[in-house]
């Protein structure tokens, strides 16, 4: 049963029982007692359907919880959900498993009376899962300690172990409990779980040797094969393939998609270690499980005399080793039967059928007794020792009964007879306790009790268990009497003994119509839940449950410690015939009834919504069948025989007081008087209610629904009124809070501001005093009187210096230092300049460095000497004024390997007529070349260059003076360049003639040829004018750009 998952989004409107009344049209009522048509089974099932569709799987019938398996995950079992139900009154929260668990726990703590929770339903309805959830609830919500934690772990871990050994896949349920379980959880005086005890009932041992198609054997066999380590399986002589074992292939369903045997095996191994199983215990236990599988593979054949002989010796060897018995003795015990007649022992050989019966009987006995041993082992680990928990006389107990529900199959046999007999007894107890509880409540409240008519199934219980006349007695007599007793003689004896009983029918006793439905080998019982046909085939064998004596002897001689405890040697010497299976079950059931009667019961009725295990599918036929055999309608009828609804005065008044002006908003008198005033105001009729000592009883659900509807209408006006009052109150409180806060903050802030002012004035006075004293002693050597003043002067200068440092190397500004820091200031100024220069130099690129070098040379040559020099300063000198494309290729070829460092267009003036001619000046590594188109007109080596002359005016003429002894030179060269400063700087640096540049004021003389001299006269004018003068000189008039 899958119960985990997302919490219900609408859980907020379902928190209390009454809140769901307002949504009853959609989700039904959460207590069947409030159904208007409570006698209608259709109305009952429709209410279940509504709630199931809304994922509301729990519904009450008074204090009985009806649970429908959702077959999907619902997150209503988280820790917050547990806390919501913890310590809360039963009807104050929506129906839930936890409400039942918590109510039992609180009753245990407050009333000190043992409790029990009876969980019933058919296979697949969720009984086992409900038991787990209750144990988890106690594990989370109960007080803890180290010892308690250990017990909690053992209680929780006992479940997967018992499921592994006692649960199996059936057609109806993949994890069906094939045994009944009653678990006592013991609590100390603090309410902590300190121990436990488990009783098991009627394990379905026949499943060990036979399974119906589509079913499996017990889980542990498959878990061992799937999850067991290779070394373990090798020691046990097992293979991982379940198809190799006869006991596992009868149902042809070894693999199930919804079961992970490998993971379950890990859980079982972990659980065994928690419950104090050591390695030897585990090895012995698994050896027994393996021996059962090997027993199933033991095969027989007939000899010449028709006697059975073992044909699988290997299997006998495995079994002998695993159970630590003598192999030959075991072999003989499987094919012979020991008979004691007149004090003599005779070994009677068995035929094939008898040998197979003996083998299967041994397998069932070994597994069944091992299961009982396992339960006892778990009980020893859960035992409560009073000495460990002083302070309280004895532990209180909450019992959990997880027992099979009423079963009706197509073929019903001995097991279904026992199960349904158990359910008859539980139904009888259930009705009696419910009626008793109702009667006690009525008497306690002073309400007249009206006898309730109901079906008393005591007549059916007597039919089954009455001494000498009941079915059990007849069955035992047939099993014990000498002679040839068979299943059919048992049926005949039944017909003779109980033929007149109204709830017993056979083919022979029935009418013509009945005989069509009841076989000749069947009898029919009319149970409280309906008619069931039982087939008597196998009744005697299953009831006898005999194990041949020689097989018992073989088992008693085992050295396996578990088998040794399971087979007591006293069985061999005890002359008394053992009790039959049904008698043992009857006695166990009687003890269980005594246990349940001694406790305060709570009930959980589990319902399976469909056989396909599909979420959301609601099979009405199947559910109607379960509602019938669970006796839910009978229970509802008993609960509704009197009053449908009852509540304590305080709770009823608290909920509905707003419907009466006299009780709203506060009722100061007694609660009973307030309720009386309230019902009078609501116009309740006398037959609709009764007032008890502490509770009000309302007879009809429609009365409650009308009250609830009136409350819903009243809530609207109340909500508006409450909201207005609350908003006013809330805003008033906010205002008062803000006012108090403002006053507090203002007070604190004023004090803080005044304290700061006082501290600041005090510091100011001290500083001024020290400053004045320092000023008076400022010319003295450093002393305590002037150290503050001097430090301040230094600090002020340094801060001023920090703010006014030079921005670049050209910035010569520097703050004036005080006398005491003059020397330090000079050091700082020098360091600052060095640092700026270093930073500046570090940032200079090679190209910019070259530019600066040229500018420095130009400055050395022309600064304050040449009139147009200032205009050239901001202009960058470029590498060349002519590209290679502008220079004739023949010139480049003529220069050969000499690289051109600089090229510029110039104007050359002839030496004689001073005629201007366009030329190109090329500067190479070794010479200055004058070019006319493709001709090298003149090439002046740097060594032959004597100097350069230029005027001080703004003209752009210059003269290159060459040595006259060079025959290649015709004389000095007169040139004009638009970039005269740049051109002359580059020539001077390349020819290393920086110091050979002459700047003349009025005239320049130059060699016009061998023995000839030319003169250039320079005068100032308004515009530039170059022409030959009458005196034969070259006259240059240039405007003055700067005054020097």
pLDDT at 17 over 70: no
Which pLDDT band holds residue 392 (cuts at 50, 70, 90)?
very low
Distance CA 512, CA 161 (A): 51
pLDDT reported for residue 968: 65
pLDDT reported for residue 14: 34
pLDDT, mean of residues 560-583: 79
pLDDT, mean of residues 195-214: 87
| Catalytic sites, residue numbers | 123-124, 128, 173, 176-177, 405, 407
Angle subtended at Cα 758 by Cα 753 and Cα 761, rounded to the nearest 5 degrees: 120
pLDDT, mean of residues 23-40: 77
Q: Where are the beta strands (DSSP E) in 368-447?
A: 396-404
Q: Where are the beta strands (DSSP E) in 472-560?
A: 504-506, 522-527, 530-535
pLDDT, mean of residues 770-784: 87
pLDDT in tens, 606-629: 999 998 888 889 999 889 888 887
Compute CA distances 695 → 447, 690, 692, whole Å. Answer: 10, 9, 5
| HEC string for 134-191 | HHHHHHHHCCCCHHHHHHHHHHHHHHHHHHHHHEECCCCCCCEECCEEEEEEEECCCC
pLDDT at 578 over 70: yes
What string of DSSP letters covers 628-658?
HHTTHHHHHHHHTSS-SEEEEHHHHHHHHGG
Which pLDDT band holds residue 390 (cuts at 50, 70, 90)?
very low
pLDDT, mean of residues 903-908: 93
Compute CA distances 624 → 180, 456, 530, whole Å. Answer: 24, 21, 12
Residues facing 928 on adjacent strands? 923, 940
pLDDT at 393 over 60: no
User: Which range (174-188, 264-278, 330-344, 503-517) has the least confidence?
Assistant: 330-344
pLDDT reported for residue 4: 36
pLDDT reported for residue 412: 87
Residues facing 404 on adjacent strands? 121
Tokens of 98: 């936890």
pLDDT in tens, 508-524: 888 888 888 888 889 99
Distance CA 767, CA 745 (A): 32
**If you compute the radius of gyration of the chain from its CA atoms, what whole number of angstroms results?**
59
Residues in CB range of 111: below 8 A, 6 or more apart: 600
Residues facing 622 on adjacent strands? none
pLDDT, mean of residues 599-611: 89
> What percent of the chain clears pLDDT 90, i.e. is strictly above it?
21
pLDDT reported for residue 757: 95
pLDDT reported for residue 372: 92
pLDDT reported for residue 343: 61
pLDDT reported for residue 534: 92
DSSP 3-state of 322 = helix
pLDDT, mean of residues 699-719: 80
pLDDT at 1016 over 80: yes
| HEC string for 800-818 | HHHHCCCCCCCCCCCCCCC
The total of other beta-carbon atoms located within 10 Å of residue 912's CB is 12
Look up tokens 């320049």; give the residue: 1004
- Closest among 924, 416, 373, 449 to 641, alpha carbons compared: 449
pLDDT at 645 over 90: no
pLDDT reported for residue 18: 43
pLDDT at 740 over 90: yes
Burial of 351 (0-12, 13-18, 19+ CB in 10 A): middle
Cβ–Cβ under 8 Å, residues 867 and 1038 = yes
What string of DSSP letters covers 960-985?
EEE-TT-TT--S-EEEE-TTHHHHHH
User: Which range (237-246, 536-545, 898-907) has the least confidence?
Assistant: 536-545
Cβ–Cβ under 8 Å, residues 950 and 958 = yes
pLDDT, mean of residues 16-45: 72
Q: Where are the beta strands (DSSP E) in 893-981?
A: 900-909, 916-924, 927-932, 935-941, 945-951, 957-962, 973-976
Which of the pair, 176 or 68, is modelled with greater confidence?
Answer: 68
pLDDT, mean of residues 152-176: 86
Look up tokens 């300690």; give the residue: 145
Residues in CB range of 702: below 8 A, 6 or more apart: 36
User: Which range (83-92, 161-170, 230-239, 983-992) has the least confidence?
Assistant: 83-92
Q: How is residue 275 annotated by DSSP? A: T
Which of the pair, 107 or 743, is modelled with greater confidence?
Answer: 743
Which pLDDT band holds residue 1043 (cuts at 50, 70, 90)?
low
- Closest among 914, 907, 913 to 958, alpha carbons compared: 907
Cβ–Cβ under 8 Å, residues 336 and 308 = no
DSSP 3-state of 398 = strand
Which of the pair, 257 or 449, is modelled with greater confidence?
Answer: 257
Distance CA 436, CA 414 (A): 33
pLDDT, mean of residues 962-975: 77
Burial of 1009 (0-12, 13-18, 19+ CB in 10 A): middle
pLDDT at 25 over 60: no
pLDDT at 147 over 70: no
Which pLDDT band holds residue 1044 (cuts at 50, 70, 90)?
low
Which pLDDT band holds residue 248 (cuts at 50, 70, 90)?
very high
Burial of 671 (0-12, 13-18, 19+ CB in 10 A): middle
Distance CA 554, CA 548 (A): 10
Asked whether the bond before 665 is cis by omega within 30 degrees of 0, the reply is yes
Which of the pair, 906 or 625, is modelled with greater confidence?
Answer: 906
pLDDT at 23 over 60: no
pLDDT, mean of residues 979-1004: 89
Distance CA 354, CA 551 (A): 13
User: Which range (345-359, 430-444, 917-931) has the least confidence?
Assistant: 430-444
pLDDT at 834 over 70: yes
Distance CA 587, CA 533 (A): 24
pLDDT reported for residue 560: 86
DSSP 3-state of 369 = helix
pLDDT in tens, 459-512: 888 899 888 888 989 888 888 877 778 889 988 898 888 888 889 998 888 888
Query: 678-702: b or e for each residue (b if 16 or more CB lie within 10 Å)?
Result: bbeebebeeebbbbbeebbbbbbbe
Look up tokens 């009857």; give the residue: 586
Burial of 615 (0-12, 13-18, 19+ CB in 10 A): middle
Tokens of 452: 């309730």
Q: How is residue 395 annotated by DSSP? A: -
- Closest among 848, 850, 847, 805 to 829, alpha carbons compared: 805
pLDDT at 935 over 50: yes
pLDDT, mean of residues 302-310: 86
pLDDT, mean of residues 676-685: 85
Pair type for strands 115-121 and 600-607: parallel
Q: Record the pTM.
A: 0.62
First to last CA, the chain: 114
457 Cα distance to chain centroid: 51
């Amino acid at each position: 049963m899958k119960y985990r998952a997302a919490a219900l989004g609408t859980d907020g409107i379902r928190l209390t029982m009454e809140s769901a009344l307002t949504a009853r049209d959609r989700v039904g009522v959460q207590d069947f007692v409030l159904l208007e048509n409570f006698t209608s089974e259709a109305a009952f099932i429709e209410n279940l359907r509504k709630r199931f569709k809304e994922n509301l799987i729990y519904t009450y019938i008074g204090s009985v919880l009806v649970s429908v398996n959702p077959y999907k995950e619902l997150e209503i079992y988280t820790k917050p959900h547990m806390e919501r139900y913890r310590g809360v009154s039963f009807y104050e929260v929506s129906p839930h498993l936890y409400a039942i668990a918590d109510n039992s726990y609180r009753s245990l703590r407050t009333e000190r009376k043992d409790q029990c929770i009876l969980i019933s339903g058919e296979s697949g309805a969720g009984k086992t899962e409900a038991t787990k959830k209750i144990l988890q609830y106690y594990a989370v919500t109960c007080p803890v300690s180290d010892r308690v934690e250990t017990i909690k772990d053992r209680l929780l871990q006992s479940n997967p172990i018992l499921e592994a050994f006692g649960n199996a896949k059936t057609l109806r349920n993949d994890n069906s409990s094939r045994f009944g379980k009653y678990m006592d959880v013991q609590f100390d005086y603090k309410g902590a779980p300190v121990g436990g005890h488990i009783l098991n009932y009627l394990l379905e041992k026949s499943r060990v040797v036979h399974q119906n198609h589509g079913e499996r054997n017990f889980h542990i066999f498959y878990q061992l094969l799937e999850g067991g380590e290779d070394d373990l399986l090798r020691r046990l002589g097992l293979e991982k393939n379940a198809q190799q074992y006869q006991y596992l292939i009868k149902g042809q369903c070894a693999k199930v998609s919804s079961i992970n045997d490998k993971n379950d095996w890990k859980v079982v191994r972990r659980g065994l270690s928690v419950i104090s199983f050591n390695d030897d215990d585990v090895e012995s236990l698994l050896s027994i499980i393996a021996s059962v599988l090997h027993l199933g593979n033991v095969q027989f054949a007939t000899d010449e005399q028709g006697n059975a002989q073992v044909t699988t010796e290997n299997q006998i060897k495995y079994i002998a080793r695993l159970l630590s018995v003598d192999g030959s003795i075991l072999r003989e015990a499987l094919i012979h039967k020991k008979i004691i007649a007149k004090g003599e022992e005779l070994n009677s050989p068995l035929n094939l059928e008898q040998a197979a019966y003996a083998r299967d009987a041994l397998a069932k006995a070994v597994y069944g007794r091992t299961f009982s041993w396992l339960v006892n082992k778990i009980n020893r680990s859960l035992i409560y020792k009073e000495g460990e928990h002083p302070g309280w006389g004895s532990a209180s107990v909450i019992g959990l009964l997880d027992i099979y529900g009423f079963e009706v199959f197509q073929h019903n046999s001995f097991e279904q007879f026992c199960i349904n007999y158990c359910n008859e007894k539980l139904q009888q107890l259930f009705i009696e306790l419910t009626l008793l509880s109702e009667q006690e409540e009525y008497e306690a409240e002073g309400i007249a009790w009206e006898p309730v008519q109901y079906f008393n199934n005591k007549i059916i219980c007597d039919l089954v268990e009455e001494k000498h006349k009941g079915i059990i007695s007849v069955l035992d007599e047939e099993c014990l009497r000498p002679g040839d007793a068979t299943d059919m003689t048992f049926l005949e004896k039944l017909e003779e003994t109980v033929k007149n009983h109204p709830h017993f029918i056979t083919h022979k006793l029935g009418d013509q119509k009945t005989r069509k439905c009841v076989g000749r080998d069947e009898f029919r019982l009319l149970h409280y839940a309906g008619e069931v046909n039982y087939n008597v085939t196998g009744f005697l064998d299953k009831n006898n449950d005999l194990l041949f004596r020689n097989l018992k002897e073989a088992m008693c001689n085992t050295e396996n410690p578990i088998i040794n405890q399971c087979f007591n040697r006293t069985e061999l010497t005890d002359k008394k015939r053992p009790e039959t299976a049904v008698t043992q079950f009857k006695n166990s059931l009687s003890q269980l009834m005594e246990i349940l009667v001694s406790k305060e019961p709570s009930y959980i009725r589990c319902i399976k919504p469909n056989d396909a295990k599909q979420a959301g599918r609601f099979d009405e036929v199947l559910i109607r069948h379960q509602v019938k055999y669970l006796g839910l309608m009978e229970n509802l009828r008993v609960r509704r025989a009197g009053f449908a609804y009852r509540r304590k005065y305080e709770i009823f008044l608290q909920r509905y007081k707003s419907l009466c002006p006299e009780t709203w908003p506060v009722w100061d008198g007694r609660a009973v008087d307030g309720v009386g005033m309230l019902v009078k105001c609501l116009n309740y009729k006398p037959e609709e209610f009764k007032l008890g000592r502490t509770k009000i009883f309302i007879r009809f659900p429609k009365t409650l629904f009308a009250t609830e509807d009136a409350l819903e209408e009243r809530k609207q006006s109340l909500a508006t009124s409450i909201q207005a009052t609350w908003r006013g109150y809330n805003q008033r409180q906010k205002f008062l809070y803000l006012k108090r806060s403002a006053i507090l903050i203002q007070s604190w802030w004023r004090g803080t501001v005044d304290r700061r002012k006082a501290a600041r004035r005090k510091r100011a006075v001290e500083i001024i005093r020290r400053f004045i004293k320092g000023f008076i002693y400022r010319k003295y050597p450093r002393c305590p009187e002037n150290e503050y003043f001097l430090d301040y002067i230094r600090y002020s200068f340094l801060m001023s210096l920090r703010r006014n440092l030079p921005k670049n190397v050209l910035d010569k500004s520097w703050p004036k230092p005080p006398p005491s820091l003059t020397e330090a200031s000079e050091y700082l100024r020098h360091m600052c300049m060095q640092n700026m220069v270093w930073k500046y130099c570090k940032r200079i690129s090679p190209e910019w460095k070259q530019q600066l070098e040229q500018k420095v040379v130009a400055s050395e040559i022309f600064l304050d000497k040449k009139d147009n020099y200032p205009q050239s300063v901001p202009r960058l000198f470029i590498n060349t004024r002519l590209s290679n494309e502008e220079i004739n290729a023949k010139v480049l070829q003529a220069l050969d390997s000499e690289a051109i460092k600089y090229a510029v267009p110039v104007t050359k003036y002839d030496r004689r007529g001073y005629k201007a001619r366009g030329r190109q000046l090329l500067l190479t590594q070794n010479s200055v070349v004058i070019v006319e188109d493709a001709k090298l007109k003149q090439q002046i080596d740097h060594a032959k260059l004597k100097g350069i002359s230029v005027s001080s005016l703004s003209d752009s003429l210059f003269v290159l003076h060459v040595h006259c002894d060079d025959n290649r030179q015709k004389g000095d060269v007169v040139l004009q360049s638009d970039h005269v400063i740049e051109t002359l700087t580059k020539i001077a640096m390349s020819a290393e003639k920086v110091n050979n540049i002459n700047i003349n004021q009025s005239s320049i003389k130059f060699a016009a040829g061998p023995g000839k001299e030319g003169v250039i006269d320079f005068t100032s004018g308004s515009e530039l004018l170059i022409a030959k003068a009458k005196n034969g000189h070259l006259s240059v008039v240039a405007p003055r750009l700067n005054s020097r």
